[in-house]
A and B are shown apart, each in its own frame.
Chain A
């Protein structure tokens, strides 16, 4: 990028002055009536810390997958029949007879998996660098809401196939609500029958799941808009966790610097995406779902898709029905509160000698829960599921508040600039924007 475009940026903290000047008669006319181009120019010039790493590209990757799911999903809906008698066959027909039907479906299936892969990296990134702390609490909480919506959407989408695993996953998960019977007799049963529209999972259930699977992604779009808005108000965090002090020295405008970087990351993920779609499209799925739903036969081993496994393990770890449900939802709800559960004033784990390790222990815990969720609930798996479930909550409810109070942070750079300069000295000289 040429030096002039950087030089045109002012030194005011917090934002770059946007420099949009409508050049043609039409854009001048439009600018006076609906300044969308001005808005976009301002929006894309967001000052972004120049030291952010590639893990920061996962936000853009998530936006990419949202678009992929929307367009592939809308196409699938043109071929899919939401009726329990023919739903399964309509998907088989799509796969075998429709031109490129297999491609549309595998795009949607694998896209959902990679969407979750990206969201987990994105969330762990936020946890490691303390991106949930003031002033980014609302940004983080909207993120947790997005995660919830994604889970609801993926769950409902999976049910549409109306295979054995779809049917029994819906049966088991909707039955979670029957645990309310232990709060007030009959309440849970009434809720479950209301959800089903009958006395068992059946056609009315499938119809409403289809309608909602189409609708919730648009709620997701709205939440993403709020998420990005909140991001523009508080700005991106960065690997040092230190706030920007000097916009001119420490940040670069989002476009073109980070649009380029993000596009590169998206291209890399797209290659992985294509590889899975073309060479191993069913690798992440369960073969049992290629068997049509049979309400008289439960598969010997009900497992959700991989991205739900840690939560499924938590559900099964608790020996009481209501307790399991509370723990599973609690595992997500607790995420809303971590901005206040973490008592350390240091954001980035880079400067947190104790919590840095606890972060990795937590990652291990989440992976272990995922593995346990894929195993039958028998023998020692039950015990280990309980151990890792307890640790999951101990991490947030005990270690997070406690370690923040006792930990001595390691020496930190004065500022982002200081950190960047130190790094630059230790490697080779880097291009410095015009001063």
Chain B
């Protein structure tokens, strides 16, 4: 059972075509499969993914004060807001906001009200990831003397993004509100982040 010259000339499917196509398909699929580990090795590794959660004691933070803690290599802003700051944050109409989403990690389409960005009964505590959603600088506003920007919350000096007292973007190039990490109150003045 030999392939005759006629087979080739007639343009019919012969064994050589089959071998070409088979080889090309093998190389393409095999190549793609071999590429995946090369790409995936750049992803966060197991030890990074399993980074433990942290507990933070809020008791020493006086009204109007703020602290910064590190979680997963990211700064977490914790602010004990003054009543007027909370009022100001609540008074904002969500429709006016540049980003109407609450940006609470693990939720979707939650309106960006101040209530949604805090825990019920604990509205004075704002716990959020202190990273500007523009290009990742750390906004000013944690220390007493810092410039807080026109909305009284935080101001990112890198490219001029201004956040309100709920950490929502109000002005400048940043597209989104600063994110709220997963956390819960384990005691009245103690939270667990992560």
A→B interface (CB under 8 Å): 168, 171-176, 178-179, 181-182, 193-202, 204, 208, 295-298, 300-302, 316, 318-321, 324, 376-378, 382
Which residues of B are found within 8 Å of A195, using beta-carbon distances? 42
Given A295-B70, A377-B160, A199 and B48 contact (CB-CB distance below 8 Å): yes
Chain B residues with CB under 8 Å of A202's CB are 73
User: Does residue B157 face the partner (Cβ distance < 8 Å to A)?
Assistant: yes
B72 touches A321 (CB 8 A): no
Q: Is the CB of A298 within 8 A of B137?
A: yes
On chain A, the residues within 8 Å of B68 by CB distance are 296
Nearest CB on B from A37, distance (A): 40
Give the shortest distance, in Å, between A369 (CB) and chain B (any CB). Answer: 16
A316 to B174, CA, bound (A): 11
B48 contacts A204, CB within 8 Å?
yes
Residues of chain B at interface, number, CB under 8 A? 25
Determine whether the beta carbon of B72 is less than 8 Å from that of A171. Answer: no
Q: Point out the residues of chain A lying under 8 angstroms from B72, CB to CB.
A: 198-200
B136 touches A208 (CB 8 A): no
Q: What would 21 A/B residue contacts be, using CB atoms closer than 8 Å?
A: A168-B137, A171-B136, A178-B136, A193-B44, A194-B42, A197-B48, A198-B72, A198-B73, A199-B51, A200-B74, A204-B44, A208-B42, A295-B70, A296-B70, A300-B157, A316-B159, A320-B173, A320-B175, A321-B173, A378-B160, A382-B160
Q: List which B157-175 residues lie within 8 A (CB) of chain A.
A: 157-160, 173-175
Per CB-CB distance, the 7 closest pairs between chain A and chain B, nearest first, are A200-B73, A175-B136, A175-B135, A172-B135, A199-B72, A298-B137, A298-B138
Q: Could you tell me the dominant secondary structure of chain B's interface residues?
A: loop
Residues 37-51 of chain B, each 1 if its beta carbon lies under 8 Å from chain A, else 0: 001001111001001
Interface residues of B in 88-137 (CB under 8 A from A): 134-137
Contact of B174 among A198, A200, A208, A321 (CB under 8 A): A321
Cα A13 to Cα B157 in complex, Å, equals 61
Chain A's nearest CB lies how many Å from the CB of B53? 13
Q: CA–CA, A296 to B134, complex, Å?
A: 17
Q: Which residue of A lies closest to B39 (CB)?
A: A194
**Chain A residue nearest in CB terms to B130:** A296
Cβ contact within 8 Å between B73 and A302? no
* B152 cross-chain contacts in A, Cβ below 8 A: none
How many angstroms between the C-alpha atoms of A300 and B44 in the bound complex?
A: 29
Report if A182-B175 is in contact (Cβ < 8 Å); known contacts: A200-B74, A298-B138: yes
Interface residue from A196, A198, A324 paired with B173 (Cβ < 8 Å): A324
Shortest beta-carbon distance from B68 to chain A in Å: 6
Q: Return A339 CB to nearest CB of chain B, in Å.
A: 33
Task: Establish whether residues B173 and A376, one from each chain, have CB atoms under 8 Å apart when the complex forms.
Answer: no
Q: A377-B160, A378-B160 are in contact. Are A194 and B43 (CB under 8 A)?
A: yes
Q: Provide the residues of chain A in CB contact with B135, threshold 8 Å.
A: 171-173, 175-176, 178, 321
- A44–B99 Cα gap in the complex (Å)? 62
12 extra A-B contacts, CB within 8 A, seeds A168-B137, A194-B42, A199-B51? A171-B137, A172-B136, A174-B136, A182-B175, A193-B43, A194-B43, A197-B43, A295-B73, A296-B68, A298-B157, A321-B134, A377-B158
Q: How near does chain B come to A360, taking the closest CB pair, in angstroms?
A: 31
Which residues of chain A come closer than 8 Å to B136, judged between CB atoms?
A: 171-172, 174-175, 178
Instruction: A301 to B137: give the CA distance in the assembly, Å.
Output: 10
Q: Give complex CA distance A176, B137 in Å.
A: 12
Residues of B within 8 A of A194 (CB): 39, 42-43
Query: How far, in angstroms, from A114 to B48 measured CA to CA in the complex?
Result: 40
Closest A residue to B72 using CB positions: A199
Contact B137 A199 (CB under 8 A): no
Q: Report the minimal beta-carbon distance from B183 to chain A, rounded to whole angstroms.
A: 15
A197 and B42 in contact (CB under 8 A), knowing A298-B137, A321-B175? yes
Interface pair B75/A198, CB less than 8 Å apart: no
Q: How far is the CA of A197 from the CA of B52 in the complex (A)?
A: 17
| Interface of chain B residues 42 through 89 with chain A (CB within 8 A) | 42-45, 48, 51, 68, 70, 72-75
A304 to chain B minimum Cβ distance, whole angstroms, is: 12
